[in-house]
Amino acid sequence: MNVFALLFVVVGLGLIGWLTARARAVRFDRGGQKRLHSLPSQHGWYVAMWTVLPALLFIAVWSALSPALIKDQVLKSPAASQLSDFAFERDTILGEARDVALGRADATFDDTATALVEPMRAAIAFYGWTGTGIAILLAFAGGAFAFTRTSPTFRARTRVERGLMLILLLASLIAILTTVGIFLSLFWESMRFFAMVPPQDFLFSTHWSPQLIDPNNPGKSLGAVPLFWGTFFIGAVIAMLVAIPFGLMSAIYLTQYAAPRVRRWMKPLLEILAGVPTVVYGYFAALTVAPAVRNLAVFLGMPFASAESALAAGLVMGVMIIPFVSSLADDSIAAVPTAMRDGSLAMGATNSETISRVLLPAALPGVVAGVLLAVSRAIGETMIVVMAASGAANITLNPFESATTVTKQIVDLLTGESEFDSPKTLAAFALGLTLFVITLLLNIVALRVVKKYREAYE
């Protein structure tokens, strides 16, 4: 049975459990001389919980396990004896057979696969119906168990609340699970990468050309230094040269100078800049900004300037970050007590003197933390560089030349046609791990600074 249909049935059973338990509890109430501990609907929830949760848990585990069980079963069939031992080829043929068995494809390309269609169909049906049967049985068993426990003295509310508390706890553990999941999956694949490529080659060598990998010495063409440089140059230098002055000055103007009406309109307008999807910025960078930058370079006397310059990507990325810097700077300046501002103005300082000599120094930790967060966002930004930056790994200080970034290379490495276990593909995970660790450090430092700073004024 289809998983969605099965879910539907289980939830339906839960509903039936809820209704019957509630009806029964209502009858306790009618005949009962003493007060019930729990409301009828709470008895209903208790039964529904026992009906649905074990079955759902089983379905989740079963749907994760059954593909492997099906595969085992098919491999035991006589038709499978002709299969190649080479895992990749074997999986392709099995995949073909599965598609036909499920009705996703009309015919197979491979004869071995045709022979496997029937065993496959049988295995899928067997495990599908077994799983369905167990799930429905579990739902009935759980429901019946809970139903027999309901009685006028049964504390259903306490049980339901305890169950709910468990669900709340599990929900909040998903955040930890995700963090651990990210770290483990990146770490695991990176370890496989570093088994093929020495870490020092990856981290310190300066030649990057994943298109031409020497299978005997893959480390020679997988030196990530140009990527690190390009990421730093585009995200932390060029983009910040745009974002910091513009973001900071916008925040200052909107908080210190602008009339309330102007502020009310301009702030959301800047927030729209933050809401524009990155793919739109990327398209704009590639279509409009990059040619303009190239023309400028030619005008400045660089006839062979790249059409995928670091400058174009960095500029647009900077614009994207402006509202981010602006809103964080806004918060930090707003956190400086008004007394500081009054104190300075009362001595005859002009607004600009007050801002640059008192407010900004006082808000500096917050602003610095904001810039760190902005850098972390810029170096993790993907679409703009994928669309507007080059794939050529150069170490250059000239913004009109092309440079590539970690994120761009991750996308390029993983969207080509290549098998999963090659150093080329795994390099993407090593790059991802580096990116993750660096952004994590930036965030931790920034959050710490912000926290300290908040405490200073509270």
Partner 1 sequence: MTDATPFPTGTGHKMSARGVSVSYGDKQAIRDVSIDVDMDHVTAFIGPSGCGKSTFLRTLNRMNDTIASARVTGEITLDGEDIYSSAMDVVQLRARVGMVFQKPNPFPKSIYENVAYGPRIHGLAASKGALDGIVEQSLRRAGLWDEVKDRLSDSGTALSGGQQQRLCIARAIAVDPEVILMDEPCSALDPIATAKIEELIHELKGRYAIVIVTHNMQQAARVSQKTAFFHLGQLVEYGDTDNIFTAPKQERTKDYITGRYG
Partner 2 sequence: MSKRVASPAPAPERTPTDWKSAAMQKRIRRRYARERRFKLFGMMAVILSAAFLAFLIATMMANGARGFTRSEVALHFDFPKLGIEIDRSHLKTPGADLALAGAGLQDKVETLATSPAGYSLASNSAWVTVRDRIKAHPAILDGKATIWVPASTELEMGSRGEGPANVQADARKLSQAGQLRTGFNWGFFSASNSNDPVAVGIWGALKGSLLTMLVTFLIAFPVGVLSAIYLEEYAPKNRWTDLIEVSINNLAAVPSIIFGLLGLAVFLGSWQIGGHTFGPLFPRSAAIVGGLTLALMIMPVIVIASRNAIKGVPPSIRDAALGIGASRIQVVFHHVLPLAMPGILTGTIIGMARALGETAPLLLIGMRAFIVTPPSGFTDPATVLPVQIFLWSDEVSRGFVEKTSAAILVLLVFLLAMNGLAIYLRNKFETRW
- Residues in region 409-448 near partner 2 by CB under 8 A: 410-411, 414-415, 420, 428-429, 432, 435-436, 439-440, 443-444, 447
Contact call for residues 389 and 308 (beta carbons, < 8 A):
yes
Q: Which residues bind partner 1 (CB under 8 A)?
A: 259-260, 337, 339-350, 353, 357-358, 361-362, 456
CA–CA separation, 374 and 237 (whole Å): 12
- Listed residue (335, 409, 340) closest to 370, CA to CA: 335
In 276-309, alpha helices (H):
278-284, 290-299
Residue 5 in contact with partner 2, rule: CB under 8 A: no
Q: How far is the CB of 347 from partner 1 (least distance, A)?
A: 5
Q: How far is the CB of 353 from partner 1 (least distance, A)?
A: 5
* Lookup: tokens for 37: 């501990």
Q: Which is nearer to partner 2, 237 or 440 (CB)?
A: 440
- Angle at alpha carbon of residue 173, lines to 170 and 175, rounded to 5°: 135
Binding mask 16-55 for partner 2 (x = CB under 8 A): ----------------------------------------
Residue 133 in contact with partner 2, rule: CB under 8 A: no
Q: Which is nearer to partner 2, 212 or 346 (CB)?
A: 346
- Could you tell me which stretch among 142-150, 293-301, 375-383, 389-397 binds partner 2 (CB under 8 A)? 375-383
SS3 content of the chain, % helix, strand, coil (to 5): 80, 0, 20
In 77-155, alpha helices (H):
87-101, 111-149
E strand intervals along 162-239: none
Q: How far is CA 162 from the centre of its chain?
A: 31
Q: Which is nearer to partner 2, 206 or 415 (CB)?
A: 415
The Cβ of residue 121 has, within 10 Å, a number of other Cβ atoms equal to 17
Residue 346 binds: one of partner 1, partner 2, none (C-beta under 5 to 8 A by kind):
partner 1
Residues numbered 173 to 202 that lie near partner 2 (CB under 8 A) are 173-176, 178-179, 181-182, 185-186, 188-189
Q: How far is the CB of 436 from partner 1 (least distance, A)?
A: 35
Residues numbered 293 to 352 that lie near partner 2 (CB under 8 A) are 319, 322-323, 350-352
Residue 211 binds: one of partner 2, partner 1, none (C-beta under 5 to 8 A by kind):
none
Contact call for residues 282 and 388 (beta carbons, < 8 A):
yes
Query: Which residues are within 8 A (CB) of 370 and not within 5 positions of it... i.e. 6 or more apart?
Result: 324, 325, 328, 329, 331, 332, 446
The Cβ of residue 404 has, within 10 Å, a number of other Cβ atoms equal to 25
Q: Which is nearer to partner 1, 225 or 360 (CB)?
A: 360
Burial of 346-372, coded b for 16+ CB within 10 Å and e otherwise, reads eeebeeeebbeebbbebbebbbbbbbb
* Lookup: tokens for 75: 């491999």
CA–CA separation, 224 and 203 (whole Å): 6
Residue 103 in contact with partner 2, rule: CB under 8 A: no
The Cβ of residue 241 has, within 10 Å, a number of other Cβ atoms equal to 14
- Site size toward partner 2, by CB under 8 A: 96
Residue 443 binds: one of partner 2, partner 1, none (C-beta under 5 to 8 A by kind):
partner 2
Q: Choose which of 79, 236, 252, 427 interacts with partner 2 (CB under 8 A).
A: 252
Residues numbered 272 to 291 that lie near partner 2 (CB under 8 A) are 272-273, 275-284, 286-288
Residue 272 binds: one of partner 2, partner 1, none (C-beta under 5 to 8 A by kind):
partner 2
Q: How far is the CB of 320 from partner 1 (least distance, A)?
A: 32
Residue 343 binds: one of partner 2, partner 1, none (C-beta under 5 to 8 A by kind):
partner 1
Residue 64 binds: one of partner 2, partner 1, none (C-beta under 5 to 8 A by kind):
partner 2
Residue 250 in contact with partner 2, rule: CB under 8 A: yes
Q: How far is the CB of 416 from partner 2 (least distance, A)?
A: 12
Q: Which is nearer to partner 2, 137 or 166 (CB)?
A: 166
Q: How far is the CB of 273 from partner 2 (least distance, A)?
A: 5
E strand intervals along 273-367: none
Query: Which residues are within 8 A (CB) of 407 and not within 5 positions of it... i.e. 6 or more apart?
Result: 231, 379, 380, 381, 382, 385, 386, 435
* Strand, coil or helix: 440: helix
Residue 249 binds: one of partner 2, partner 1, none (C-beta under 5 to 8 A by kind):
partner 2
